[in-house]
């Protein structure tokens, strides 16, 4: 039997091989605390509704239970589950330009689902100053769609990150930090 450290070491290297396979990883990051609380309330509600269903079947004979009542309980348990999932889902994007693959990884807690598609035509990366007093870096594609990549407290760090992204993806950089005065940054200056 293999020792646990050997298995953990193998698992670590397997993860590193999986991560290094991709050109760029765009992570949504951690969920805000308020979303975690709302998701917890929805999941707690779901548990409550399933508990009521269990107690109903435990206390009464199947012939004595109104089917509309059970349908009502299942409906609210399902709505609670859907609400919990919608507030706790995170999305990470893995972009491999060489293989023309875009992998979207949707995660809810320890559960995940990967969806592989073709990389859309990536247009440019923009850096702008948002309403939260932070510099946001976005990856734009298909004219008006974008991935929110990361937010930074200072512009220098945001532009350093954006420079790394445009070098990997070989696309342009737009400086939109001053509202109404956007300008394209020359790659050779970075």
Q: pLDDT tens for residues 73-101?
A: 999 999 999 999 999 998 888 888 778 88
CA separation for the pair 119, 26 (Å, rounded): 13
Tell me, what's the pLDDT at 16?
Answer: 39
Q: Which of 116, 122, 118, 101 is nearest to 166 (CA)?
A: 122
Alpha helices in the chain (DSSP H): 4-20, 33-59, 67-88, 155-169
pLDDT tens digits along 118-146: 888 888 899 988 877 888 888 888 878 88
pTM of the model: 0.62
């Amino acid at each position: 039997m293999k020792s646990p450290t050997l298995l953990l070491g193998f698992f670590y290297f397997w993860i590193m091989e999986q991560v290094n396979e991709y050109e760029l990883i765009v992570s949504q990051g951690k969920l805000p605390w308020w979303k975690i609380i709302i998701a917890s309330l929805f999941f707690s509600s779901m548990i409550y509704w399933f508990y009521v269903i269990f107690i109903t079947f435990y206390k009464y004979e199947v012939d004595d239970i109104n089917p509309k009542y059970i349908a009502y309980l299942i409906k609210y348990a399902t709505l609670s589950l859907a609400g919990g999932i919608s507030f706790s889902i995170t999305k990470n994007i893995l972009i491999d330009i060489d293989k023309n693959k875009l992998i979207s990884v949707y995660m809810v807690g320890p559960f995940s689902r990967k969806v592989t598609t073709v990389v859309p035509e990536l247009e440019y990366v923009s850096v702008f100053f948002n309403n939260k007093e932070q510099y946001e870096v976005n990856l734009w594609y298909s004219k008006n769609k974008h991935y929110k990549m990361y937010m930074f407290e200072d512009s220098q760090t945001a532009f350093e990150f954006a420079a790394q992204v445009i070098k990997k993806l070989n696309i342009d950089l737009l400086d939109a930090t001053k509202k109404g005065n956007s300008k394209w940054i020359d790659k050779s200056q970075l």
